[in-house]
Amino acid sequence: MATFPKRPRIDSTVSNPQLCKALRERSDKLKLKMTDISNAAEKVNKVIDKIITSEPTKSHPLFKSMEKLSTGSYYEGVKILRPNEFDIMLKITFESYQKIVPTSIDESGAFYTLAFKQQKPPSMAKYIDDEGNLLAQSILADFRTLVEKILSTLDGSVSLNKRESSSPAVTLTISNKPEAISVDLVLALEIQQWPREASVGMKTDNWLGKRKIQEYKNEPCYMVAKKPSQGTKYNKDTWRISFSNIEKDIMNNHHEKDNTTCQETMCCRKPCLKLMKDLLEKLKHSGTQSINEFISYHAKTALLHICTNYPRDEDWKMTNLDVCFKRYVEFFQEYLKNYDLLNFFIPSHNLFSIDDIPKKSCDNLFEALENQKTNDYPLFQPKVQSAGAMPFPQFYRGYI
DNA sequence: TTATGCTAAAGCGG
DNA sequence: CCGCTTTAGCATAA
């Protein structure tokens, strides 16, 4: 429960026009170019369509129900710099009589076994063990084989990446200039009823509104074939829960409840997330010690929590971008210091501990963020003034 | 299944 | 800064 830092502290902070302008310029630089989007979208969509509609897929007992559910940064409109990474969830649904029951296997509420409650369809026998549990890894393996087979009928511009043992994704590389495009295909089983562990999350009535939250809880959630990080702990095949569908809807409809006229004041929730992703990437490449474990999902989750604390569009005015971003950084630092970043949907699920992130890495990132914040984000600066030439309080001088 | 209309975001010109 | 056009993605209807 003691998740959030104390409220105000920086509410009184006044925007600094120079810093605000500099952040906005950086944010503009992160935008995707329309020509890049067109190129990439055409190629990606073509491949996905091929995979879904090909004969081997359509004749497979399990995969024939596959439908595209585009998720992740690109489709949430927060991808930065170039459209070079796509996340596509391929969802599988079961006939109504084939009820599947998720059972949580640990305290976190992140991992589940999935068992057929009623009859087991004979065509699916190879994916089900003696107790009726669905075998995540064998389904994933067959899916990979299927994709491989379909790609082999193509012109060779698309290749299959090497398998990564803990990843639930089958990753494709599409050749493209100036840069290859990588596409994560994530096979996901659709579950109609949210597990009990998820029923207490998403406490954000003031931001999204009770009605909207209830609508979300009536939507399905998904199970993906991701192993727990200590692989041998559970002998059964396990699944990890995913709310990518809800996350996407929130990101694309993130204004405060009942606000239908949000056009007038542009909010900076998305720009803040883009800047944070950019900053994390830059820190990773700047030699900052062991912070490579942090992923954009941590940044996104932090943003969702902060939006809950600051629910009003008024709290996110574009003209206050610097204040909002500083607030974001400080909340994120608080999560790092407490080693406590909870999954937005499942409060029992601490992202840091589930992903086995060392406390030391959190401390390192805390310090790196502190340094960036107090020096007005030197890593955002356009280009290097060759080393040494510019000692550290760099640009944006002349305020305060 | 396909066609059509809407929206958010990029791009551009004032 | 503001308004206009274009585009991809998506929802809805036919």
Q: What is the pLDDT of residues A286-311, one digit of tens each?
A: 887 777 778 889 999 999 999 999 99
pLDDT tens digit sequence for A34-74: 999 999 999 999 999 999 999 999 999 999 999 999 999 99
Whether this prediction's pTM lies above 0.75 is answered by yes
Label residue A11 by pLDDT band (50, 70, 90): very low
**Rg, C-alpha atoms of chain A:** 22
Buried-state track A87-103, b at ≥16 Cβ within 10 A, e below 16 = bbbbbbebeeeeebebe
Contact indicator for A110, A91 with CB cutoff of 8 Å: no
Residues whose CB is less than 8 angstroms from the CB of residue A344 and which lie 6 or more positions away in sequence, other chains included: A201, A202, A243, A247, A301, A304, A305
Q: Is residue A364 over pLDDT 90? A: yes
Nearest nucleotide to A39 by CA–C1' distance?
C8
Q: Which residues on adjacent β-strands are paired with residue A182? A: A85, A173
The neighbour count for residue A107, using CB atoms within 10 Å, is 9
Q: What is the pLDDT of residue A393?
A: 41
DSSP H or E segment with residue A362: helix A359-374
Nearest nucleotide to A21 by CA–C1' distance?
C1
In Å, what is the CA distance from A172 to each residue of A1, A148, A365? 40, 10, 31
Nearest nucleotide to A252 by CA–C1' distance?
B8
Average pLDDT, chain A: 87
Nearest nucleotide to A44 by CA–C1' distance?
C8
Residue of A292 and A83 predicted with greater confidence? A83
Gap from A253 CA to C11 C1', Å: 15
Gap from A261 CA to B2 C1', Å: 33
Contact indicator for A186, A89 with CB cutoff of 8 Å: yes
pLDDT tens digit sequence for A167-209: 999 999 999 988 999 999 999 999 988 999 998 889 888 899 9
Q: Is residue A388 over pLDDT 70? A: no
Q: What angle do CA A221, A219, A217 make, to 5 degrees?
A: 90
Residue nearest to nucleotide C6 (CA to C1'): A34
Gap from A139 CA to B8 C1', Å: 37
Q: What is the pLDDT of residue A261?
A: 47
**Measured distance CA(A220)–CA(A246) in Å, rounded:** 9
**Measured distance CA(A294)–CA(A126) in Å, rounded:** 37
Gap from A2 CA to B10 C1', Å: 41
Contact indicator for A38, A66 with CB cutoff of 8 Å: no
Contact indicator for A248, A76 with CB cutoff of 8 Å: yes
Task: Strand B: list protein residues with Cβ under 7 Å.
Answer: A 31-35, 37, 53, 77, 252, 263, 270
pLDDT tens digit sequence for A127-166: 999 888 999 999 999 999 999 999 999 999 999 999 988 8
Residue A236 CB burial class (10 angstroms; 0-12, 13-18, ≥19): middle
- Strand C nucleotides, any atom under 7 Å from protein beta carbons: they are 1, 7-10
- Strand B nucleotides, any atom under 7 Å from protein beta carbons: they are 1, 8-11
In Å, what is the CA distance from A190 to each residue of A4, A187, A222, A246? 32, 10, 5, 13
In Å, what is the CA distance from A264 to each residue of A77, A216, A250, A259, A311? 19, 27, 20, 11, 17
Gap from A35 CA to B13 C1', Å: 19
**Measured distance CA(A59)–CA(A223) in Å, rounded:** 23
